[in-house]
């Protein structure tokens, strides 16, 4: 498990490249805002307040590609359940702080994911501009 890369993986680099080509600028590998400082966000769109996590199919129990190893099945079941629980807790903490959490599976098309994220970012920043410009006085 120590050899598993936390960042800079091929799917993450492809997603970041696709986001950059769409003109989105972001921070990489930042700590989660709020109380959960140990959890790192893969890609952070600060202005739109979007936290993007690129989840590996094995480690995050992808419904399409996730599987349990044959050896030590019970240990792996508990380990992977714990990771899924941590993901849900992180999502809830960030949502409570006003962040939108986007989870992208490693097998997803990076350009399709970038397009989806760009729409979300545009909608979130456009609604912020509308709210702030509506006060006028």
Q: Report pLDDT digits (tens) over 50-75.
A: 999 999 999 898 888 888 888 999 99
**Which class is 44-114 in CATH?**
alpha beta
Pair of tokens at residue 18: 């696709």
Quote the pLDDT of residue 96.
93
Residue 11 φ/ψ region, left for φ over 0, alpha for ψ in the -120 to 50 degree band, beta for the rest: alpha
Query: Which residues are registered as beta bridge partners of 75?
Result: none
Q: Is the pLDDT of residue 83 over 80?
A: yes
**Domain extent listing, the chain:** 44-114
Pair of tokens at residue 137: 């006085």
């Amino acid at each position: 498990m120590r050899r598993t890369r936390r960042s800079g993986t091929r799917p993450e680099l492809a997603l970041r490249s696709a986001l950059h080509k769409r003109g989105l600028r972001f921070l990489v590998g930042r700590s989660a805002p709020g109380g959960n400082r140990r959890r790192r966000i893969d890609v952070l769109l600060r202005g739109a307040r979007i936290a993007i996590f690129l989840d590996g199919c094995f480690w995050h129990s992808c419904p399409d590609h996730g599987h349990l190893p044959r050896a030590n099945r019970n240990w792996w079941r508990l380990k992977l359940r714990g990771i899924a629980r941590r993901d849900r807790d992180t999502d809830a903490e960030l949502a409570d702080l006003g962040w939108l959490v986007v989870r992208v599976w490693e097998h997803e098309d990076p350009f399709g994911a970038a397009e989806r994220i760009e729409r979300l970012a545009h909608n979130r920043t456009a609604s912020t501009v509308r709210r702030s410009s509506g006060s006028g006085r």
